[in-house]
Amino acid sequence: MTVQILSQAGDKWRDICPTLPIMELEKPLKISDLIRELRQQLDLSQEKFAANLGVSLRTVNRWENGSTVPSQMALKLIEEMLQKMGEPGKRLLNEYLPKAKQRQDS
């Protein structure tokens, strides 16, 4: 799925260069959706999920509401959780962390 950046009234860059094509960008990574879906598939509360990752309940809550994103270390632990889940985890990896899937294949 792609997201289009559309011109809106007052877009200065569009006023300066009206012939600039509309850019299409990849869907932004929705790590909050991944966290929530993973946690729910594992049937874990935010508190238990946080304990498994060694972070606070508040941290997981912030990840899920999109106000912060996991650190690289936490993402690595989440990736490992996904890999241990088998097929459902592979689906989530492909959907949300395609670069992690590429590392697995190489």
Verdict on whether the full-model pTM lies above 0.85: no
| 84, burial (CB in 10 Å: exposed 0-12, middle 13-18, buried 19+) | exposed
Q: Which helix (H) or strand (E) holds 69?
A: none
Domain count, the chain: 1
Which CATH number belongs to the domain containing residue 80 in this structure? 1.10.260.40
Q: What is the pLDDT of residues 45-60, one digit of tens each?
A: 999 999 999 999 999 9
Give the model's confidence band at 92: pLDDT under 50 very low, under 70 low, under 90 confident, else very high: confident
Q: Does a structural domain hold residue 5?
A: no
Least confident of 10-19, 72-81, 86-95: 10-19
pLDDT at 87 over 50: yes
Its domain, for residue 94, covers 29-105
Q: What is the pLDDT of residues 16-25, one digit of tens each?
A: 445 544 433 3
Q: Does a structural domain hold residue 19?
A: no
Q: Does a structural domain hold residue 56?
A: yes
Q: State the pairing for strand pair 24-26/2-4.
A: antiparallel
Q: Does a structural domain hold residue 13?
A: no
